[in-house]
Amino acid sequence: MRRMAVVITSAFPLNAFLRPHLERLRRDFEITVYVNTGDMGVAPDVPPEIKVVHLPLRRNISPSADLATLLRLWRILRRESFDLVFSMNPKSGLLAMLAAFITRVPRRVHCFTGQVWATRRGPGRWLLKGMDRLLAACATRLLADSASQRQYLIEEGIVAPEKIEVLANGSMAGVDVERFRPDADARRQVRTRLGIEQGACCLLYVGRLKRDKGIPDLIEAFSRLRSRFPKLHLLLVGPDEEGFDFLVRDVPQIHRVGYTQAVEEYMAAADVFCLPSYREGFGLVLIEAGAAGLPVVASRIYGITDAVIEGETGLLHRPGDVADLVGKLETLIRDAVLHRALGEAGRRRAIQMFSAELVTTAMADFLQRLFAEQSHAG
C-alpha cells in the first residue's frame, strides 16, 4: 500500500478540514499525521487507522526550534520512505516541503489556505513571501482552496500557473449539509443555555479570535449597533489567540464559547453570520453558515469572494471599514425578506456546489492523477 505523510502545525486543520479526506484516502494509503498535539487534542472521530505522531512545530518563527524540527523531519522522511508528503499551514508547509525535497520524496504537495504576508508591510512581508516562494519551489504540486487565492499567488509571483490548482469549486473539505442545516431544537436549546431571548437577533462569528480575522472591527460594530438594537446579541465561537476574552468579558450581550466540535448548534442558534477578515484562503465557515440557512456579512477580499455571492448569499463590506460593516449588518437586521432570501440561497449553493462528497472525491482523484502522471513520466 502507498504511504502518505501529512504534516500540519496544529490539530485544528485535522479536526476541521482533513478528517473527511483521510477517511476517504485510507482506502489507498497508509497515512501518518505529524502534528503538534500540545495545543489542541485530536478529535475522537479521527479514524484509528490514521497514525498520529506528535511533532513540536511552532506557529511563530523560531530559528533554533525550526531548524531542530527540520532536522527531525529529515530523519523521519529518510527513514520512512513515504510515497507522498502533504502539508498545510505556512510553517509546517515550509519545513515539510524542504525536508521532503532534501530526502527526495517523489511527490510533495502543499495546500495554501491563506497568506500570512497578505496584510504585512516592509521587510516582514518580503521575508514571508520569500518563504512561500521557497516552499512552492520545493513542492512538486500545489493546491489553493479558492480560485481567487490561486490567482493572487500567481500574480504575486509565488508560483507558476501550471503548478497550482483548485479542488472542485474550492474549499478544503466541503461541507456536510446534513450536519449544517436549520435546526429549531438546537436553536432553542443553545439560546436557553446562553440566556439569549428566543426572538432576539444574534450575530455569530466562528473561528480563531485574531486581529487578522477582524475581531476588533466586529466588536466595535456590535457596540454601535446595540445603541439602535438594544436586544442584539453577539456570539463568538472559537479559541482566543490574542487576549480578546479579557476585552469582552464584561461586555453585555457578548457570549463566548471556546473551541467546540458542535459548531453547527451555534449556527442554528444565530441569525446572521459575520466574518470581517483581512485575509482568507477560502472561508469554508461561510459555506457552513450558508448550509445552516444563515445570510452572511463578510469582507470583500480574495477567498471570501469565492465563498459568498454578493447580493445573493450575503453582503460584502470594505475590509477594515467598520461603518460599512455596521451598515451591512443593519440592512440584514431590518430587512426580513432579504434576510430570508440570502439564507435560502446560501443553503442551495452549499448543497449544489460545496458538498463534502464533491470535494473529497476531487482530492482522491487529484492524488490518483498525480501518481499516474509520475508513473507515466518514469
Please choose, from the candidates 210, 351, 329, the residue with its C-alpha nearest in 3D space to the C-alpha of residue 270: 329
CA distance 11 to 89: 11
- pLDDT tens, residue order, the chain (378 aa): 899 999 998 888 888 788 889 999 999 999 999 999 887 778 777 888 999 999 988 777 788 889 999 999 999 999 999 999 999 988 899 999 999 999 999 999 999 988 888 888 899 899 999 999 999 999 999 999 999 999 999 999 999 999 999 999 988 888 999 999 999 999 999 999 999 999 999 999 999 899 999 999 999 999 999 999 999 999 999 988 888 988 888 888 999 999 888 999 999 999 999 999 998 878 889 999 999 999 999 999 988 999 999 999 999 999 999 999 999 999 999 999 999 999 999 999 999 999 999 999 999 999 999 999 866 555
- What integer pLDDT is reported at residue 229 of this predicted model? 96
**48 burial type by CB count under 10 A (0-12 exposed, 13-18 middle, 19+ buried):** exposed
Q: Is the alpha carbon torsion for 132, 135, 136, 142 positive or negative?
A: negative
Residue 68 CB coordination number (10 Å) = 12
CA distance 365 to 372: 10
CA distance 20 to 357: 9
Contact 10, 35 (CB under 8 A): yes
Homologous superfamily of domain range 2-174+356-377: Glycogen Phosphorylase B; (3.40.50.2000)
CA distance 259 to 303: 23
- What integer pLDDT is reported at residue 124 of this predicted model? 85
Q: Which fold has domain 184-353?
A: Rossmann fold (3.40.50)
Q: Which amino acid is at 18?
A: L
CA angle, residues 332, 351, 366, in degrees to nearest 5: 125
Task: Write down the pTM of the prediction.
Answer: 0.83
- What integer pLDDT is reported at residue 173 of this predicted model? 84
Could you give the C-alpha distances from 233 to 1, 116, 211, 294, in angstroms and in order? Answer: 52, 31, 21, 15
Asked, colleague to colleague, whether 2-174+356-377 and 184-353 share their fold, the answer is yes
Contact 309, 341 (CB under 8 A): no
Residue ranges of domains in the chain:
2-174+356-377, 184-353
Q: Which residues contact 13 (CB under 8 A, 6 or more apart)?
A: 88, 89, 113, 172
Give the DSSP H or E segment for 36.
Answer: strand 29-36
- What integer pLDDT is reported at residue 44 of this predicted model? 78
Take residue 353 and report the three cell numbers written for it. Answer: 456546489
- CA dihedral of residues 291, 170, 358, 163 (deg, nearest 10): -170
Q: Which residues contact 123 (CB under 8 A, 6 or more apart)?
A: none
- DSSP for residue 272: E
CA distance 153 to 112: 9
Q: Which residues contact 188 (CB under 8 A, 6 or more apart)?
A: 198
Take residue 62 and report the three cell numbers written for it. Answer: 523560531
- What integer pLDDT is reported at residue 343 of this predicted model? 97
